Each structure stands twice: as structure tokens, then as C-alpha cells.
């Protein structure tokens, strides 16, 4: 071979063709391989200790009345006539909710007393921590309810005698 540059050019050409072909081949195969891989496992958030008893959502008369007004396109007159009905319903709901919570508390107390009889000392310690967490949760909920404004009293549709004390609902 009297012309070495031709040999070098041939090697460069073969190398370049191989690189181009290999690149396209790798991209094509890579797509199929990636598609066939199982999805990565989701990272689990640290397990948050849930209270034994979770509070149901609270009805707030202002929010409920707002939803009715928006969804039904109520006039101002209709809104004023419906307002005491919504307030009465939210008071009834709150009263029922408090009764249910009281009864649920009795049931949970009895359950925990019965469970205590079956536990070993190490498990009793864990149960005590669970109960403490539950007490803290309930205290925080009571504090939150105490900060909520009490509903308005009197007016059309209100009951004679009314209830004593605030129930934490907005007017």
C-alpha cells in the first residue's frame, strides 16, 4: 500500500459507520429494554401513627350555605330564608356528632380494658403510648373547637329555648 492516508481514511470510515450504527441500535434496543423494566418501587412515607379514633368532618353552616347558594344560584331572599334551616341542621349534626363521640369513647375504653388483660408488659407499654397519643389528639381537637366561633342564636327558624353554650360552628 503506497498510500497510507487511504488506509487511515478507511479505518476512520469503518469506525464512524460502526459508531453511528451502534448508536441507533442502542437507542432502539434501549427503548424496548426500558419499557420492559418494572416500575421503580414507590418510596413509602414514614408510617404516621394514626389515632385510634378519627374525628369526622365538621359541618360549618357558612360553608354549607355557600355551597347551596353557589350550586343552586339562590337569590338573596332565598338565602335568608334557608340560612336558619342550615344553621339548625348544623347544630343538629354537631349534637349528634358529640353523642356519637361520647358513645364511641365508652366503647373504646371498654375495648382497651379488655385488651389489657391479654397483653404482656411490653405490649402494655405500647398500648399506653397509643392511648397517650389519642388523648393528645382529642385535646388538640377540643382546643380547635373552642377557638371556632359559636353559631348565632335566635331569628326565624330557631328553636324555643335553644341550646346552652357554643358548639363551635360559624354563624
In this structure, how many other beta carbons lie within 10 angstroms of the beta carbon of residue 130?
Answer: 15
In this structure, how many other beta carbons lie within 10 angstroms of the beta carbon of residue 151?
Answer: 22
Digit-coded pLDDT (tens) for 5-43: 777 878 788 888 888 888 777 877 777 777 777 777 766
pLDDT at position 171: 37
pLDDT at position 169: 36
Q: pTM for this one?
A: 0.42
**DSSP reduced 3-state for 98:** helix
Does residue 160 have a pLDDT over 70?
A: no
Least reliable range by pLDDT among 22-36, 63-77, 80-94, 114-128: 22-36
pLDDT at position 155: 43
pLDDT tier at 76 (50, 70, 90 boundaries)?
Answer: very high
Higher local confidence (pLDDT), 132 or 150:
132
pLDDT at position 165: 39
Long-range own/partner contacts, residues 87-92 (CB < 8 A, 24 or more apart): 87/61, 87/151, 87/152, 87/157, 87/158, 87/169, 87/171, 88/157, 88/158, 88/159, 89/59, 89/61, 89/64, 90/59, 90/60, 90/61, 90/64, 90/151, 90/169, 91/151, 91/163, 91/167, 91/169
Digit-coded pLDDT (tens) for 102-122: 888 888 889 889 988 999 999
pLDDT at position 156: 43
Domain residue spans of the chain: 61-146
Share of the chain above pLDDT 90, in %: 12
pLDDT at position 60: 77
Amino acid at each position: 500500500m503506497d498510500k497510507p492516508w487511504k488506509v487511515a481514511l478507511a479505518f476512520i470510515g469503518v469506525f464512524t459507520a460502526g459508531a453511528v450504527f451502534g448508536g441507533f441500535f442502542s437507542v432502539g434496543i434501549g427503548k424496548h429494554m426500558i419499557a420492559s423494566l418494572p416500575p421503580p418501587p414507590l418510596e413509602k412515607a414514614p408510617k404516621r401513627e394514626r389515632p385510634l379514633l378519627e374525628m369526622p368532618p365538621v359541618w360549618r353552616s357558612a360553608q354549607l350555605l355557600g355551597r347551596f347558594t353557589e350550586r343552586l344560584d339562590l337569590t338573596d331572599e332565598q338565602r335568608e330564608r334557608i340560612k336558619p334551616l342550615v344553621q339548625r341542621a348544623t347544630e343538629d349534626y354537631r349534637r349528634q356528632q358529640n353523642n356519637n363521640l361520647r358513645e364511641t369513647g365508652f366503647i373504646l375504653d371498654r375495648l382497651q380494658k379488655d385488651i389489657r388483660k391479654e397483653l404482656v408488659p411490653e405490649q402494655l407499654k405500647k398500648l399506653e403510648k397509643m392511648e397517650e397519643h389519642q388523648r393528645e389528639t382529642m385535646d388538640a381537637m377540643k382546643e380547635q373547637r373552642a377557638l371556632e366561633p359559636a353559631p348565632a342564636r335566635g331569628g326565624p327558624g330557631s328553636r324555643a329555648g335553644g341550646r346552652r353554650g357554643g358548639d363551635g360552628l360559624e354563624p
